[in-house]
């Protein structure tokens, strides 16, 4: 199951020491996600302190486990992803408008 996760760093997170701690934790956690094979893609948006992760997980509880290190420093929005191949197959099996 794939999930698209949009994140945005809290606006109140501005002190150099706090930003450094969060950055170090994020780097370590993202490295662990990559090593586990659960991180398919990710990056930062160029217009602010936000970005995205595309995660492959087996159970929904894994999502919280992966994102737990971030809950006190970023806003998190997540959405399950239905691939175009899955969508096409669904339309073939269950035609819309007929």
Mean predicted confidence (pLDDT) in 8-33: 80
pLDDT attached to residue 63? 92
Mean predicted confidence (pLDDT) in 6-34: 81
78's enclosing H/E stretch is strand 74-81
Q: What is the pTM of this model?
A: 0.79
CATH architecture of 2-93: 2-Layer Sandwich (3.30)
Hey, what's the torsion of the CAs at 34, 77, 74, 3, to 10 degrees?
-10
Angle (CA) 40 44 49, round 5° = 140
CA-to-CA distance for 70 and 58, rounded, in angstroms?
Answer: 20
pLDDT attached to residue 33? 92
pLDDT attached to residue 37? 94
Domain locations in the chain as residue ranges: 2-93
pLDDT attached to residue 80? 93
CA-to-CA distance for 76 and 57, rounded, in angstroms?
Answer: 17
CA-to-CA distance for 44 and 80, rounded, in angstroms?
Answer: 20
pLDDT tens digits along 24-77: 888 898 999 999 999 999 998 999 888 999 999 998 899 999 998 888 888 899
pLDDT attached to residue 13? 64
């Amino acid at each position: 199951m794939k999930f698209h996760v949009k994140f945005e760093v809290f606006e109140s997170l501005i002190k150099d020491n706090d930003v450094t701690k969060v950055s170090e934790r994020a780097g370590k956690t993202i490295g662990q996600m990559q090593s586990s094979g659960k991180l398919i893609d990710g990056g930062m948006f160029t217009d602010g302190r936000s970005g995205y992760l595309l995660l492959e997980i087996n159970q929904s509880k894994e999502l919280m486990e992966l994102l737990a290190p971030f809950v006190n420093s970023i806003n998190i929005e997540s959405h399950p992803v239905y691939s175009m191949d899955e969508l096409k197959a669904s339309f073939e099996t269950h035609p819309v408008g007929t």
